[in-house]
Structure 1
Amino acid sequence: MKYRIIIAMILLCGTSQLRAQQGLTLESSIAIALENNLNVKIAKNQAEIADNNATKGNAGLLPILSANGASNYSEHSTNEVSSSASVNVSYNLFNGLKARYNYKILNLRKEQGELNARFSIENIITNVVSEFYQLSKSYDDLSVAIENMEISRDRLNRNQSKYEFGNINKLEVLNAKVDFNRDSSNYLQTEQIYQETVREMNILLGRKADTEIQVIPDKSDFRLLDLEKLKSQALKENAEYLIKESELKENEFVLRQSKSAQLPSLSFNSAYSYADQKVMGTNSHTQLTGGLNMSFTIFDGKQKKRNIVNAKIEKQNAAFEYENKLLELEKDLLNAYTDYQYNLRTLHLEEDALDAARLNFDQTKAYYQLGQVSATTFRDAQLNWMEAKNNKAAARYNAKLSEIKMLKLSGSLLEPFNN
């Protein structure tokens, strides 16, 4: 299963390599979470339990061998001493194929355990990716806030110099001071949000909240996704859908198992025993016994019939859940694909808006330094440029989150991180 591929990737990365990295990338975030996150460990343990249960012995397909021994002493006039030992073997030769169906059910539950583990790990990866992009967005916002504050600081310093030489009045200095203070306050708020996001990310990675992070924003290109190919792949790889498919198969075997109770059962029993009794001498003997037992319930208060009827209903419910999951999967894929295309178009628009805002700011700044535009016009151009930078960053991360959702629904979320 794919979750095993991820675990192998952790071993390839290695803890020492992760610690040696200069910054936190998307790939290293995923590897750290898979190594440290407690929910990942729980998911792997649950899958291992299901794997351990899927044995022929647990299904009742293997014989049972037992040994017994006893020794007794009775203090009478005869001082009787007796001892005995036996080895017993029992095996169900036929029980209406109940054990064979049970073995098939256990193997299906093993499969479901692996799928559930993969589903849990995919959810954790999705959360890590989402938080990483949120952290990257906060990092970009902080960079923009710093740049905005520096622009206002430069304007304030220039106005103070001009005022000292008598080129402008005090009001322009005070206006620049107000804008600088506002931008400084915004920087502090943005820094606080960034630090809170860092702490959230650390907890998700299974680390102490105060662990320092040097984030390296993801600059990867967007994937060209085809809706029809994603639908086809989802039917083969989507963990939730495959779980419902496996549960439907399990209910079919449960129904067959219920019907098998209508057939007789045949078992084989054999024992080898040894007995020794000492009463005024020694008397010992051995004995080998064996036999076949057949049983058939003629009437059980219609319990078998009731179990079969209920098993049919459970199978029908499983079929309904399976069909419903298919409809939900198709709907979710279509919604995610539509969101992805919308966010990509929005990103292109925001990139164009950023180019226009940057050009407008550069020209306005030049005119402002020449005294050809007012401080208000310069301030508007500055804020428009900063807003355009924030909007472009938000649009990129929204598009990336839509891309991740598409990959998760199609069951191909892990592919970019397994290359």
Structure 2
Amino acid sequence: MRRLLLPFCILILLVHLTPVGAQAQSDETITFDEAVTIALDQNTDLQRAINDVQRQDATIRQRQFDFGPNLNLSTSTTRQFGRSFSQEEGAIVNQTTDIFRVNANSSITVFDGFNNIASLREANRQGEASELNLERTRQDVVFTVMEQYIALSQSKQEVEVRRGEVEFQEQQLEQIQEFVDAGARPTSDLFQAEADLAQAEQQLLQAQREVEVNNTRLIQTLQLDPFGTYTFEAPDVDPAALEMREYAISEMLDNAFDRRVDLRAQEANVRASEAGVRIAQSNYWPSLSVNMGYGSNWSSTVGALPGNTDPSFFDVLDSRRGGNIGFSLSFPIFDRLQRRTQTAQARANVREAEYALQDRRQTVALQVRQAILDYRNAQKQLEAAESRLESARRLRNAAQERYNLGSASIVELSQATRDFTDAASAKVQAEFDVAFQQKRIAYQMGTLSPDAPLAE
């Protein structure tokens, strides 16, 4: 009895010591607006874009301070021993001397061939580009969340369609069972009905799996705790969003060229590259700077001072203080063609940035045109799906009546049922595809607002 009691007590103790979160995790419900907020706070791509903006801000501040002077304060202590020339005695002496020095130095660049002006302009353009890229990244993150929410909603609607199919097949199986028991139908019809029910259950399981896959994708996008349990509440598709809208491609392209922040960011990169050319050309100019200094020193060999036979440490520093001011002018004459090489490289960078801008414009135009064409196709697919569903519904009802009257086979009824289920699934996909393609147009146009992504 004791052998059985000891393991039981240990098990009870372990259960009580197990953290509550490990025993049962609460199901956290996340709405679409909450998901967008979480993504904008935690998405790593967005955090990297924010970090880039902060780095560019630091560079801009550094370029601004390049216009001002620098200031250095230095101090040193030295002990000299052995023979040295004593200025006080005017002879070579053998002694040990302690020396203390303190100096302040400052310099300012008066002219450097406009290098500091061009450097500040380059930093400002790069900072502008990083801020615009940050805004586009925000749009990317919100659009990704929206896309995954739409996919999740679609998969949930697919589950409802498949669940309805299972319920219908169960009712159909019960009815056929009654027909078989009454001898009105052969046993093979019962086998076919059982096979149809099994197929419907399998398709339901696949639809439920797709829901879990979409849940996992959202957890990854939002950087949520993978050990948590979450329920994502997606907004319903607005019926107004399914209405046909006309888009003029030429007008949409002009608007996209004006609104796409990534295109404006590339334009800022071109201007930054042009400033890089002026930075390289500044090496052809002379440079002028002003240097100033002020300091003092103390020596242990200092004797009496005029009017002071026993000077203190600060009296000696005061008596030896002094300063200097100077100008430094430099003319570049020959630098082994480094200036020419740097200027050529800077101009090549400008051309590369212009090529990238041209490619970006072509990409934007293609994305907008493709989004409009996909939207039009989605609208046509929705119209076809609605007609197909209505026809499939009438066909299934007719096949059911004919089967009940004994004028149709189980194969015809099964085929009509599958056609209706496929039509219902196609309509669900078409509805969500229209809603998605409409938002995709806003995204490709650059008008998708991260603060109100569902707004028109």
Q: Mark yes or no: TM-score above 0.5.
A: yes
Normalised to the residue count of structure 2, the TM-score between the two structures is 0.80
1:63 aligns to 2:69 (yes or no): yes
- What's 2:129 paired with? 112
Q: CA deviation at 1:226?
A: 4.3
CA offset digits 1:120-140 (Å, max 9, x no partner):
333323322222222222212
1:158 to 175, 193, 206: 175
- What's 1:413 paired with? 448
CA distance in 2, matches of 1:382, 1:418: 36
1:332 aligns to 2:367 (yes or no): yes
- Name the % identity: 19
The alpha-carbon distance between structure 1 residues 100 and 280, as it changes in their structure 2 partners (threshold 3 A), is: closer
CA distance in 1, matches of 2:233, 2:405: 40
2:277 to 240, 255, 258: 255
CA distance in 2, matches of 1:378, 1:52: 72
Q: CA deviation at 1:57?
A: 4.5
CA distance in 2, matches of 1:83, 1:418: 72
- What's 1:343 paired with? 378
Cα RMSD after superposing both structures:
2.7
- What's 1:361 paired with? 396
- What's 1:311 paired with? 346
Task: Report if the CA contact (8 A) 1:265-1:294 is conserved.
Answer: yes
Once the two structures are superposed, the pairs formed by residues 369-384 of structure 1 within 5 Å of their partners are 369=404, 371=406, 373-384=408-419
CA distance in 1, matches of 2:234, 2:277: 55
- What's 1:196 paired with? 213
CA distance in 2, matches of 1:371, 1:24: 52
- What's 1:3 paired with? none
Once the two structures are superposed, the pairs formed by residues 16-31 of structure 1 within 5 Å of their partners are 24-31=30-37
CA distance in 1, matches of 2:297, 2:396: 105
Structure whose alpha-carbon radius of gyration is higher: 2
1:211 aligns to 2:247 (yes or no): no
1:148 aligns to 2:165 (yes or no): yes
3-state SS of paired residue (1:298):
coil
1:138 to 152, 155, 158: 155
1:246 aligns to 2:268 (yes or no): yes
Aligned residues: 400
Task: Give the aligned residue type for 2:383.
Answer: H
1:185 to 181, 194, 202: 202
3-state SS of paired residue (1:102):
helix
Q: CA deviation at 1:246?
A: 0.9
- What's 1:234 paired with? 256
Once the two structures are superposed, the pairs formed by residues 42-53 of structure 1 within 5 Å of their partners are 42-53=48-59
CA offset digits 1:377-419 (Å, max 9, x no partner):
3322221111111111222233333333322221112264285
3-state SS of paired residue (2:380):
helix
Task: Give the aligned residue type for 1:29.
Answer: A
Once structures 1 and 2 are overlaid, which stretch shifts more, 228-237 or 46-55? Answer: 228-237
- What's 1:100 paired with? 117
3-state SS of paired residue (1:333):
helix
Once structures 1 and 2 are overlaid, which stretch shifts more, 158-167 or 261-270? Answer: 158-167
CA distance in 2, matches of 1:355, 1:57: 69
CA offset digits 1:195-219 (Å, max 9, x no partner):
2222222112212345232443540
Task: Report if the CA contact (8 A) 2:161-2:424 is conserved.
Answer: yes
Once the two structures are superposed, the pairs formed by residues 255-294 of structure 1 within 5 Å of their partners are 255-279=277-301, 281=303, 282=311, 283-284=316-317, 285-294=320-329
3-state SS of paired residue (1:219):
coil
CA offset digits 1:49-71 (Å, max 9, x no partner):
11222115566222111111122
1:352 aligns to 2:387 (yes or no): yes
Task: Report if the CA contact (8 A) 2:113-2:283 is conserved.
Answer: yes
3-state SS of paired residue (2:284):
coil
Gaps of 5+ in 1: 1-19
Q: CA deviation at 1:251?
A: 1.4
Q: CA deviation at 1:91?
A: 0.6
CA distance in 2, matches of 1:166, 1:302: 103
Task: Give the aligned residue type for 2:378.
Answer: N
3-state SS of paired residue (1:293):
strand
The alpha-carbon distance between structure 1 residues 216 and 365, as it changes in their structure 2 partners (threshold 3 A), is: farther
CA distance in 1, matches of 2:235, 2:401: 32
CA offset digits 1:8-58 (Å, max 9, x no partner):
xxxxxxxxxxxx999554433322222232222222122211122211556
Task: Report if the CA contact (8 A) 1:336-1:402 is conserved.
Answer: yes
Q: CA deviation at 1:165?
A: 4.5
CA offset digits 1:288-310 (Å, max 9, x no partner):
21122111111112221222222
Task: Give the aligned residue type for 1:70.
Answer: S
Q: CA deviation at 1:259?
A: 1.6
Task: Give the aligned residue type for 1:404.
Answer: K
Task: Give the aligned residue type for 1:413.
Answer: L
Q: CA deviation at 1:353?
A: 1.8
CA distance in 2, matches of 1:100, 1:269: 21
Task: Report if the CA contact (8 A) 2:150-2:234 is conserved.
Answer: no
Q: CA deviation at 1:254?
A: 1.1
- What's 1:15 paired with? none
CA offset digits 1:97-150 (Å, max 9, x no partner):
100110111111111211222233333233222222222222122111111111
- What's 2:21 paired with? none
Once structures 1 and 2 are overlaid, which stretch shifts more, 167-176 or 43-52? Answer: 167-176
CA distance in 2, matches of 1:351, 1:30: 32
